[in-house]
Structure 1
Amino acid sequence: MSTLIPIEDVNYKDLTYTYMGVFYSPKFQQFLNTTQTGLAHSSSGAELSLLTRSLCTSLSLCIIQLAMFCFFRNIFKSLYQPRSYFVPQDERVEPAESGFLNWVIPTLSTNIDYYLCLGLDTYFFVRYISMMLLFFLVVGALNIVVLVPINTSGSSSEFKASGLDRLSLSNISSSKVHLLNGHFIMSLMTIGFFHLMIVYEMESVIKIRKSYLSSKRHRSSVVSKILLITHIPTELLDIERLKSELSIIPGGVKNIWFLSDYKKINVSVREAKEAVYELEVGEIKFIKKYHKKVGNNRYKHYTVMRQLKPKFYPPISINTKLPFGNISLNINIPGLLRFFIFQKKVDQIDWSVERIKKAKKAIEKEKVLLASEQLKKFNTVFVQFNTQSGAYTAHQVLLSQSQGCMDKTVIEVHPRDVQWNNLTKENSATLLVQRYLVTLLCICLIMLYIIPVSFIGLISQVPLLTKLLPFLGWVYSLPEEVRNCFSSILPSLFLSILTSVMMITFRFLTYYKGKLTGAEIEIDLQRWYFSFLFIQQFLVVTISSSITVIFKQIVDQPTSIPVMLATNLPKAATFFYKFIAVRALSFCGNNFLRIDQLILRNTFYKLWDKTPRQKLVRETTLLPIKWGTTYPIYSVYAAIGLTYTIISPLISVFVVLILFLVLTYYKYSLRYIYSHINESETYGRLYPSALLHLYAGIYCLECCMIGVFFLSKDASGNFPMNSHGWIMSLILLMTVFGNTTLYNRYHRYFSYLPIINDREYPDDPLGTDLSSNYQMLYLHPNFKYEIPRVWLPSDDLEVAHTEARHLEDNEGIESIVIPGSTIKFGWRNRFSEIVVRQGPPDFK
């Protein structure tokens, strides 16, 4: 028999009490069609051949997608290498070599120091994946070499595990319980090596962050000296008075920007942008109509064609303010609704011209009010100090002795990262309640995620699904292979979509916590999204199909946690082989090929791009990356690997696979695809959090091994590994102490900057630079808005030039731009395409 107590012999009812019953009822369990054991147990004992067959589809699809990427890479350069062609000349990178596989070696050989030019968050992410890859290569190889032979030799005539479980701890029989000594020693070595790695990386973060932030270029940038201060007292909403109060800070103050009421100019700027878009669309419609009607007759009288001017229903704009939270809603309703209330169409060009005139006057009026300080000031300011050390000093001290005044500061704020609507919210009880409600809602989302997952799980159970939904009985007419394909692929697809929806939901909710910058949102998201993924993609799948069961178990009797982990984790090892391998292959193929964008760019976007400006914006807007929801994904994979590195050492092979593919993809895409500007830069604060999240895997490993040692019994029914269990319990306490000590020792270095240079750091030429136009830099973007010149594409009949002369006669319409784009016609002028060669002079 096995050295462990079988999972079916563990009576969870005896381990729990009844006062948690309010969170878990038999009816709720029956409704969700769940059991006490996790979904991952269904893969227990699976053979290698079964695992290989299940991975063949993913592997084949991945190879096809990679081959397509290698082929299309040099054809669709705007999709696969935009940073080499579609950014300003001084920001471009050298294109990758044009051969089919010539990009692979240069990509893998790129030193991670190169990614410092993309910001500390980007650099540390590449370092994070590289570091974890090295860790699992070394520790994983060592554990495989030592423990796999022990595990395979652990069976006996009375007990032998089946399938791939023979390579894991599950194969140790009671007559060979002494073999667990090897697992004990390797556990200590793995935990020790993990802590050495964490301490080394923490020290490296401090050194690299100090070097980067203290570099000459970064120190001279505006961002390095900016401090956002909230809850300014009314009497200090004066530049000279506030400067005087802050003069005590070493170095003094250089500039102050107050947050003025921008609600009215918001509406006017949105109307102006909408009108410019409709004007350009209307003119291009007219050009197309003209060509279609006239053909190639250049000499047909132009005034006759004025009747071709396009008519349309103007969009409906609704501006309202919610009674709570100082939230303004700007809703645009399609103009087609006017048809149902019997309104007539209007001339699209004339409507747009009048709208631009009106919006321009309103914008200029608000700018004049701003210059004369007649606009309402909110109690939030941006302060630029003369020195970086002055800004950090002000960030670290209490600026006021009055409670609730000047009590929130944010350092190194990028002007395009500000969450302007949250800055206008007052520090009131309403905002506090809103934050707590959002936090509670996030917890509920994590707890209740099992409900949609349970329904998705029905898709894989065809008999049950057709019983609940009889109209799906036609599924049985399909070949068995097709039914199996649907039942295995569709749940994974729907789960991926659901996880993406949850990520978007968490991001939306985090904004309503009142975070002042995008960087703060990313930091908060990292914690919540990791918690969600670790609980739902690991604990729930492994231990129980309902989070309420786990929660009830932990609260009722915390000492049963090692028992719960020891009886569940080993059974789920084979499931995570497949889980991680499939995720690795699908990630690699899908992200390299980007099939959705490849299809859209060659179909839908050609119809969607109605103006040269619209097309240029789409092609030159590089893909942004949100690190707050990127780090947690791979932290969870690493935590799963850490959990199983002793229980089932073969997991390291699959973790190395996914980390290698992820590193390859990001090394390529960060250089050639993603935007090189990270406006929500946290300056490396996400990396230490990602390192500390790995402790979740270490804690699971230690608790599981404690349970294994205490539950393991020999052939005589004795428990000879009790002493090992007590030692491992002590190791767990030491790990908790080490985790707490590491956080308390280092966390201040990730929010603040050491001013005294007690170490020598090489000067780093990289950093953040912004325009030297300080006077407008930290005003709301709409106060800096200028109505752009109308941009029309040139055509063979020069209709655009004629229209330009007519438009320029209108007051408020700037000179029209013609060069830079062309509209080409085909097949009797019935089909057209806009070709953009360059942007207009005022394009931003």
Structure 2
Amino acid sequence: MSTIIPTEDVDYTELTRSYMAIFDSQAFYQFLNTTQTGVAHSSSGTELSLLLKSIITSLTLCTIQLMMFCFFRNIFKTLYQPRCYCVPVNERPEPLPKGFFNWIVPTLSYDIHYYMSLGLDAYFFVRFINMLLLFFLIVGTLNISVLIPINLAGSSTEFGASGLDKFSLSNISAEKVRYLNAHFIMGLLTIALFHILIVYEMEAVIKIRHAYLLSPRLRESVISRTLLVTNIPTQILDFESLSQSFSVVPGGVKKVWFVNDYEKASNIVRKSNDAIDYLEEAELKFIKSYHRYYNEEYSKELFENLQIRPYFYPPLYLKVKVPWTKLVYHITIAGWIRVLGLQKRVDQISWSLSKLKQAKVAIEREKLKLSSGSLTKYNCAFIEFGNQTGASIAHQCLLSEKQGFMDKSLMGVHPRDIKWKNLTKDNVITPLLSRYLVTSLCIILIMLYVIPVSFIGLISQIPLLVKLMPCLGWIYGLPEEVRESISSILPSVLLSVLTEIIMVTFRFLTYYKWKLTGSEMELDLQRWYFGFLFIQQFLVVTISSSVTVIFKQIVDQPTSIPVMLATNIPKAAIFFFQFMAVKALTFCGNNFLRIDQLVLRNTIYPFLDRTPRMKFKRLTNLLSIRWGTTYPVYSVYASIGLTYTIISPFISISVIFILLLVLLYYKYSLRYIHNHINESETNGRLYPSALFHLYSGIYCLECCLIGIFFLSQDHNGNFPLRILGWFMTLILMVTVFGNITIYNRYNKHFHNLPIIRENSISESTSSQSLSKNMEFDQTFQMLYLNPNFKYEVPKIWLPSDSLNVSQEEALRFHNEGFEGSTTEGASIYFKLFNKVSNVKITRAPPDYK
């Protein structure tokens, strides 16, 4: 018999019925209440052959994808190495050597300090993966060496686990219950090593972060000296009053950027950008038509007499105001809707030129209003202090003795990271209510996630699926291997899509918490997304198919948590071994190959790139990593690994495997694919949160061991390990105390900068390692001015052609007042009797900044 005596099943029928009554559907209720056992238990006792069979499919697919990547890497260079070709020359890294596998060793050998040039969030993420790799290599080696032989020897003639569970704690029989003493010792060692690692990393984070932010080059940047202050009283909303108010701060106030009403300017800019796209697209149509008719032996004079110009229905611009609020939305409706009003098409070129002229006049008018001070001011401002120390002191102080005034300040805000809509909300009640509403919606999403997961789970049960939907009976006509692949792979794909949808939904909702910057959104998303993943991808899968069942058990009997974990977690060990292996292979293959972009590049994009400007934007619009939803994924994987490192030590192999592939991909993509500027940079604040999230795995491990030690019964019916259970309970309390102590000790260092510091610290960071995020701000005198007030009407950019049509058009536009119109840097080529054209660009647009 097993050493662990499971508790009696608890009937939650009435509780579930009360929750589901709102749906008033007995069928729906029965569907959701089919089981209260974690789906991960289905893998308990799996044989090695079956496990390998499920992994080989993913391994084969991943290998094919990697081979395709190695082949296409040197063909589609702007797709797989865009930073070597699609960024300014001085920012391009050296391309990787050609060859099928010649990219792997150079990628892995890049020094970690290189990634500091991409920002602290990128640097610390690479460090995070390296740290986890080192930790699981050490802990995994120790636990596998010590515990696997003990687990294998733990069976008896009366009891022995089946399949791969023989290598886990589940194989310990009642006759050999004292073998669990080794698990207690290795658990203590693992927990001690974890805390040593956490403290070491916290010390390193503080030192590196302070060295980075206090380096001479960064300390003198405008961003480091500027403070965003909100809810400023109207009576001091001018430069003189603010300067006087902050006169006590060292260095005083140097400059103030007020936040003015920009809605009208934003609407003008939007119409202007649409107009330039419509104009250049119409010109391309005109040039193509000219070449087509020219090929058919029309003379130039005859062609001009034909008056062939593109006509279209111009878009509709609507202004919608939300009742009882100050919210105003500007909506653009496609022009074809004018057909319903029996309207006539207009000359696309003439319409676009007139809109550009109107925008040029209108935006200048708004700039004059801004300079004269006639635009409405909002109750917030960006205040540049004389030095970084002054800004830091002001940031740490209570700025007003009156409650609700100047109650929030942000330091180091990137100008392109500002959420202007949220910054201009002067009604305090609306954002507060919205914040509570969004928080409630996020909780509901986490709770109800089990419903779509339950439907997806039906796909893995083909007989039940066909019974519910007879129209799918044709599935039985497929070979058995195909049906097995569908039932094993398709649910995983759909779950990944569903998780992606949830992530996008969280990101959308977080915007309506009225966060003022993208970095604030990333920090908030990290907490919520980690909570969602840990609950739904670990706890619910392991313990129960319903979040409500878990919460009900915790509320009714908090002391039963260790028992609940001890009777469920060991059964799910093989599931998570398989889960992580398959996840690693899927991640690696999909992200390296980028099959969606590869297909779109060779099918749809040539038709979407209707002008040189559109093609330039697509090529230079590099991917940006959203770190707020990236860190949590690997925090959850590491937490699962920590939970099972004693219970089933082989889990460390899966964790190391996925971390190695993740490290390879991100070292490659951060250098050659992703944008090197992270506008939502948190300056390393995501990393400490990711480290603290790992405590979730430690707590699960400790609670599970407590339950195991208290439940373990020998062949005489005694409970000889209760003393270990009490010791582990004490360790849990010490861990909680340590967690709180470490958090309180280091937390303030991630929000504030030290005033008293050693020179060695501030000089330790090389100037080459500074993020380029901060380099541009020295060149802008209107750094924190809303970008709509810095807008200039774009210069017309046409591709040169062999008949000089575009050159003549550019000259005509120049003479009509659109200075700078040019054909330089772009050209159009015709083939197949001038029926097919191709646009090529060799430089940026003339108005590119």
TM-score, normalisation: structure 1: 0.97
Kindly indicate whether residue 430 of structure 2 is the aligned counterpart of residue 425 of structure 1: no
Aligned match of 2:823 = 818
Instruction: Name the SS for the 2:718 alignment partner.
Output: coil
Identity %: 61
Q: Which runs of 4+ in 1 moved over 6 A?
A: 16-21
Report the residue type matching 2:414 in the other structure.
H
Does residue 722 of structure 2 align to residue 713 of structure 1? no
* Superposition pairs of residues 9-158 of structure 1, within 5 angstroms: 10-13=8-11, 22-23=18-19, 29-32=29-32, 34-158=34-158
Aligned counterparts of 1:442 and 1:543: Cα–Cα separation in 2: 22
Q: Which residue of 1 aligns with 2:347?
A: 347
- Deviation per CA, 1:488-526: give whole Å up to 9, x if none: 121111111111111111011111001000000000000
Please say if 1:831 is aligned against 2:833.
no
Structure 1 window deviating more from structure 2 (467-476 vs 625-634): it is 467-476
Q: What is the correspondence of 1:395-410 to structure 2 with a 5 Å cutoff?
A: 395-410=395-410
In structure 1, what is the Cα distance between the partners aligned to 2:55 and 2:380? 55
Task: Quote the residue 2:847 is aligned against.
Answer: 842
Q: Report the counterpart of residue 800 of structure 2 in structure 1.
A: 794
Question: Residues 449-528 of structure 1 correspond to what in structure 2 (within 5 A)?
Answer: 449-528=449-528
Q: Is the 8 A contact 1:278 1:349 kept in 2?
A: yes
Residue type of the partner of 2:766? D
Q: Cα distance, 1:788 vs. partner?
A: 1.1
* CA distance in 2: counterparts of 1:407 and 1:147, whole angstroms: 55
Q: What amino acid maps onto 1:197 in structure 2?
A: L
Indicate the residue corresponding to 2:213 in structure 1.
213
Q: Which residue of 2 aligns with 1:386?
A: 386
One-letter amino acid of the structure 2 residue matched with residue 119 of structure 1: G
Closer, same or farther in 2 for the Cα pair 1:389/1:561, shift >3 Å? same
Q: In the alignment, is residue 602 of structure 1 matched against residue 602 of structure 2?
A: yes
1:395 maps to amino acid? H
Contact 2:38 2:545 (8 Å CA) reproduced: yes
Amino acid at match of 1:196: I
Q: Deviations over 1:336-378 (max 9, x none)?
A: 1111221111111011011111111111110000010100000
Secondary structure, counterpart of 2:838 in structure 1: strand
Whole-angstrom distance in 2 between the partners of 1:460 and 1:319: 49
Contact 1:34 1:546 in 2 (8 A): no
Instruction: Give 1:583's aligned amino acid.
Output: K
- Measure how far apart 1:301 and its partner are: 1.2
Aligned residues: 839
Deviates more, 1:141-150 or 1:75-84: 75-84
Distance in 1, matches of 2:210 and 2:17, equals: 52
1:122-201 equivalence runs, <5 A: 122-201=122-201
Letter in 2 for 1:827: L
Q: CA 1:34–1:331 in structure 2 vs 1: closer, same or farther (change >3 Å)?
A: farther
- The secondary structure found in structure 2 opposite 1:381 is strand
Q: Which residue of 1 aligns with 2:413?
A: 413
Structure 2: gaps spanning 5 or more residues: none
* Offset of residue 774 of structure 1: 4.4
**Cross-structure match for 2:619:** 619
Return the alpha-carbon distance in structure 1 between the equivalents of residues 305 and 653 of structure 2: 71
Q: Which moved more, 1:55-64 or 1:303-312?
A: 303-312
1:271 maps to 271
Post-superposition shift, 1:297?
4.8
Please state how far the C-alpha of 1:794 moved relative to its aligned partner: 0.8
CA RMSD of aligned residues (A): 1.6
CA distance in 2, matches of 1:433, 1:58: 46
In structure 1, distance between residues paired with 2:719 and 2:665:
49
The match for 2:309 is 309
Q: For the structure 1 residues 324 and 42, does the alpha-carbon distance in structure 2 shift closer, same or farther, using more than 3 Å as the test?
A: farther
| Shift in Å, 1:763 | 4.0
Q: Residue 660 of structure 2 aligns with which residue?
A: 660
> How much does 1:426 deviate?
2.1
Instruction: Give, as a single letter, the amino acid of the residue that structure 2 aligns with 1:842.
Output: D
Q: Distance in 2 between matches of 1:254 and 1:484?
A: 69
Read off the aligned partner of 2:445 and give its amino acid letter: L
Distance 1:712-1:305 versus aligned 2 partners, 3 A rule: farther
The residue type equivalent to 2:788 in the other structure is N
Instruction: State the match for 1:261 in structure 2.
Output: 261
Aligned to 2:788: 782
Letter in 2 for 1:841: P
- Match for 2:839: what amino acid? I
Measured in 1, the distance between the counterparts of 2:583 and 2:219 equals 42
Residue equivalent to 2:674: 674
What do residues 730-789 of structure 1 show as CA deviations (whole Å, max 9, x unaligned)? 100111111111111110000001110147321431242223344311011110011111
Q: Is the 8 A contact 2:797 2:846 kept in 1?
A: no
Q: Does 1:369 align with 2:374?
A: no
Indicate the SS of the match to 1:833.
strand
Distance 1:305-1:87 versus aligned 2 partners, 3 A rule: farther
| Corresponding letter in the other structure for 1:283 | E
Give the letter for the 2:429 counterpart: A
Q: Aligned partners of 1:12, 1:747: CA distance in 2, in Å?
A: 41
Name the CA shift for 1:306/1:793 in 2 (closer, same or farther; >3 Å).
farther
In 2 relative to 1, CA 645–44 (structure 1 residues): closer, same or farther, beyond 3 Å?
Answer: same
Which SS does the other structure have where 1:824 is aligned? strand
8 Å contact from structure 1 (residues 543, 565) kept in 2: yes
Amino acid in the other structure paired with 1:598? L
Q: 1:632 deviation in Å?
A: 0.2
CA-CA distance at 1:114 after TM superposition = 1.1
Does the aligned pair in 2 maintain the 1:638–1:655 contact within 8 Å?
A: yes
Distance in 2, matches of 1:205 and 1:149, equals 38
Q: 2: CA distance between counterparts of 1:453 and 1:533?
A: 13
Q: Which range moved further: 340-349 or 260-269?
A: 340-349
Q: Does the 8 A contact of 2:820 with 2:846 survive in 1?
A: no
Q: Say whether 1:803 aligns with 2:809.
A: yes
In structure 1, distance between residues paired with 2:89 and 2:715: 75
Aligned to 1:323: 323
Q: Is the Cα–Cα contact under 8 Å of residues 257 and 382 in structure 2 kept in the other structure? A: yes
- Kept in 2, the 8 Å contact 1:272–1:359? The answer is yes
Moved more, 525-534 or 324-333: 324-333
Pair 1:587 & 2:593 matched: no
Partner of 1:752: 752
Whole-Å Cα distance in 2 between the matches of residues 214 and 302 of structure 1? Answer: 69
User: What is the rounded CA distance, in whole Å, between the counterparts of 2:120 and 2:302 in structure 1?
Assistant: 59
CA distance in 2 between counterparts of 1:427 and 1:376 reads: 15
CA distance in 2, matches of 1:364, 1:209: 42
CA distance change for structure 1 residues 783 and 537 in 2, over 3 Å: closer, same or farther?
Answer: same
Give the residue type in structure 1 aligned to 2:781. Answer: Q
Provide Cα deviations, 1:396-434, integer angstroms capped at 9, x if missing partner.
Answer: 001100110000000100100000000011252222111
Q: CA deviation at 1:841?
A: 2.9
Q: Distance in 1 between matches of 2:497 and 2:698?
A: 30
CA contact (8 A) 2:799 2:839 kept: yes
1:764 match: 766
Per the alignment, residue 5 of structure 1 pairs with 5
- Pick closer, same or farther for the CA change 1:357–1:341 going to 2, 3 Å: same
For 2:797 and 2:328, locate their aligned partners in 1 and report how far apart those are by CA, in whole Å: 32
Name whichever of 307-316 and 508-517 sits farther off.
Answer: 307-316
Are 2:290 and 2:303, in contact at CA under 8 Å, matched by a contact in 1?
no
* Residue 93 of structure 1: how far off its partner (Å): 0.9
Which 5+ residue runs of structure 1 have no aligned equivalent?
none
CA distance in 2, matches of 1:296, 1:723: 96
Question: 1:313–1:345: 8 Å Cα contact kept in structure 2?
Answer: yes
In the alignment, residue 799 of structure 1 is paired with which amino acid? Answer: V
TM-score by length of 2: 0.97
One-letter amino acid of the structure 2 residue matched with residue 550 of structure 1: I
Deviations 1:306-334 (A, max 9, x none): 52100111111222222366433222211
